[in-house]
């Protein structure tokens, strides 16, 4: 049994908190590959390159369905943003847009999208993660050839469209954002993509970081996917299921300050609206993965339901209820 006899077996038990947060990237990648392998998502050859091999453990069906819904919802919203410059109702006429992925990890969306309307695609993460990603991009022509005018930096890559920068997001409001903002055109609508990252950051620190980004971007949107450990009918305290989620993650040395501080979709909406003070255009929405599961078009839902045998229908509903998508479009016109 791991850890038996009181002996430390090294990782994950000896991980420090920052190491544990960095390791979540590997989990996201393995979950994605498991959902691809089981047929929920289309194959993602770029994810295999980033992992370094094609072996990914099989995740249980409920995890695969959660991963599928998350990827689908985020992909649809990101594509809508690229097409219209907004996550919701279009409000600008820009022909090009920018995306900044905060805590991008091993995400492959840039290579899957390759849209001519993308003026810039920035990825930010800890420099240990961006250095590793930069090395993989340079080693694989399928990844590297998608970039133009590329040059390597100490911990990332700068090219005409794609830019990979190493930095602690917790320092964005202390000057680090200026380094990223230098690659952006403030006239273009810009999406701040936060997929599974806000839960790891203290709410005040993350809000300060998001404020620093918003301050330089008159037309900005935020799109977050993350856990919500309470339910809107239950008040801000975690549900029993939410408590179990926290306990499971605490065993992996993850304390989830952001998940504890922003616990429901209503809390996300309130938080984003607060960040958008003085907006001349503001739209904000949040919904759980359970809602997206029930809104899935009939034929697609049948396809997905038949891919694997699913016993734990109640557990699936509960799990999906504890993850939410939240987005905000906000413009400031001087
Ligand atoms: N967004 C990616 C990865 C999610 S895993 C995806 O959805 O696949 C969370 C990522 O956030 C990890 O890569 C982790 O290193 C990064 N992260 C968390 N806190 C961070 C911080 N303070 N600064 C930089 N990166 C951070």
Q: How many CB atoms lie within 10 A of CB 70?
A: 23
- Read off the pLDDT of residues 22-37 as tens digits, 9 standing for 90 and up: 989 999 999 999 999 9
Mutate-to-test residue for ligand 1 from 16, 110, 126, highest number of ligand atoms within 8 A of CB? 126
Q: Measured from the CA of 22, which atom of ligand 1 is nearest? A: 15
Other CB atoms within a 10 A radius of the CB of residue 294 amount to: 11
Identify the pLDDT of residue 56.
Answer: 83
Least confident of 3-7, 39-43, 229-233: 3-7
pLDDT of the residue at 235: 79
Ligand 1 atom nearest to 205, measured from its CA: 22
Closest ligand 1 atom to the C-alpha of 168? Answer: 23
Say yes or no to pLDDT of 8 above 60: no
**Atom 26 of ligand 1, nearest CA residue:** 103
pLDDT of 45 higher than 80: yes
pLDDT reading at 54 higher than 90: no
Give me the DSSP letters along 198-209. Answer: GGGS-HHHHHHH
Q: What is the pLDDT of residues 145-189, one digit of tens each?
A: 999 999 999 999 999 999 999 999 999 999 999 999 999 999 999
Residue 281's pLDDT band (cuts 50, 70, 90): very high
pLDDT, tens digit, 9 for 90 and up, residues 77-104: 999 999 999 999 999 999 999 999 999 9
Is residue 13 pLDDT above 70, yes or no? no
Q: Is the pTM of this model over 0.85?
A: yes
CB 111 within 8 A of CB 143: yes
- Percent of all residues in the chain with a pLDDT value above 90, rounded to a whole number: 87
How many angstroms does the Cα of residue 210 sit away from the middle of ligand 1?
15
Q: Ligand 1 pocket: which residues have CB below 6 Å?
A: 21-22, 24-25, 28, 103-105, 107, 125-126, 129, 168-170, 195-197, 200-201
Is the torsion defined by CA of 292, 263, 25, 80 positive or negative?
positive
Is the peptide bond prior to 12 cis by the omega test (within 30 degrees of 0)?
yes
Residue-level pLDDT at 236: 85
Please determine, for residue 7, whether its predicted confidence score (pLDDT) is greater than 60: no
Summarize pLDDT for 111-141 with one digit per residue, the tens. Answer: 999 899 999 999 999 999 999 999 999 999 9
Question: In this predicted structure, what is the pLDDT of residue 81?
Answer: 98
Q: Which of 17, 21, 28 is the best mutation target for the ligand 1 pocket, counting ligand atoms within 8 Å of the beta carbon and taking the most?
A: 21
Dihedrals φ, ψ of 115, to 5°?
Answer: -100, 135
CA-proximal residue: ligand 1, atom 13 (nearest): 105
User: For residue range 204-245, what is the model confidence (pLDDT) as tens digits?
Assistant: 999 999 999 999 999 999 999 999 999 777 678 999 999 999
Q: pLDDT at position 53, please?
A: 84
Please give the share of the chain, as a percent, with pLDDT higher than 70. Answer: 95
With CA atoms as reference, report the closest residue to 111 among 71, 157, 143: 143
Whether residue 1 has pLDDT greater than 50? no
Q: Report CA(318)–ligand 1 centroid distance (Å).
A: 25
What pLDDT is recorded for position 15? 53
What is the overall mean pLDDT for the chain?
93
Q: What is the pLDDT of residue 51?
A: 94
- Candidate of 164, 200, 258, 259 to mutate for ligand 1, largest count of ligand atoms within 8 Å of Cβ: 200
Dmax over CA atoms of the chain, in Å, equals 65
Across residues 270-294, what is the average pLDDT?
97
The ligand 1 atom at the shortest distance from the C-alpha of residue 105 is 13
Ligand 1 centroid to 179 CA: how many Å?
18
pLDDT band at 254 (very low <50, low <70, confident <90, very high): very high
Residue 271: count of CB within 10 angstroms of its CB: 23
Q: 284 near 272, Cβ under 8 Å?
A: yes
pLDDT at 334 over 80: no
d(CA 64, CA 50): 20
Ligand 1 centroid to Cα of residue 126, in Å, is 8
Rounded to the nearest angstrom, the distance between the alpha carbon of 172 and the centre of ligand 1 is: 14
How high is the pLDDT of residue 333? Answer: 85
């Amino acid at each position: 049994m791991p850890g038996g006899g009181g002996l430390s077996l090294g990782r994950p038990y000896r991980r420090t908190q920052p190491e544990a947060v960095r390791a979540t990237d590997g989990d996201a990648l393995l979950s994605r590959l498991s959902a691809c392998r089981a047929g929920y998502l289309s194959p993602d050859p770029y994810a295999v390159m980033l992992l370094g091999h094609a072996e990914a453990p099989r995740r249980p069906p409920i995890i695969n369905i959660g991963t599928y819904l998350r990827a689908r919802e985020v992909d649809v919203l990101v594509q809508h943003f690229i097409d219209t410059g907004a996550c919701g109702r279009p409000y600008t006429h820009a022909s090009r847009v920018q995306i900044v992925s905060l805590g991008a990890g091993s995400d492959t969306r840039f290579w899957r999208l390759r849209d001519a309307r993308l003026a810039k695609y920035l990825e930010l993460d800890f420099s240990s993660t961006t250095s590793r990603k930069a090395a993989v991009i340079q080693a694989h022509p399928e990844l590297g050839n998608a970039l133009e005018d590329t040059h390597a930096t100490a911990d990332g890559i700068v090219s005409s469209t794609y830019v990979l920068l190493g930095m602690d997001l917790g320092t964005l409001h202390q000057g680090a954002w200026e380094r990223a903002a230098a690659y952006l055109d403030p006239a273009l609508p810009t999406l701040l993509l936060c997929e599974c990252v806000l839960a790891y950051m203290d709410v005040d620190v993350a809000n300060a970081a998001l404020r620093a980004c918003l301050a330089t971007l008159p037309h900005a949107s935020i799109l977050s996917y993350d856990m919500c450990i309470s339910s809107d009918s239950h008040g801000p305290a975690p549900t029993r299921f939410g408590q179990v989620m926290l306990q499971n993650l605490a065993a992996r040395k993850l304390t989830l300050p952001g998940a504890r501080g922003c616990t429901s979709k209503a809390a996300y909406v309130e938080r984003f609206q607060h960040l958008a003070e003085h907006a001349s255009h503001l739209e904000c929405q949040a919904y759980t993965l359970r809602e997206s599961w029930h809104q899935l078009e009939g034929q697609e839902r049948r396809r997905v339901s038949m891919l694997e045998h699913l016993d734990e229908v109640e557990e699936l509903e509960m799990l999906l209820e504890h993850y939410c998508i939240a987005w905000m479009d906000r413009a400031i016109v001087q």
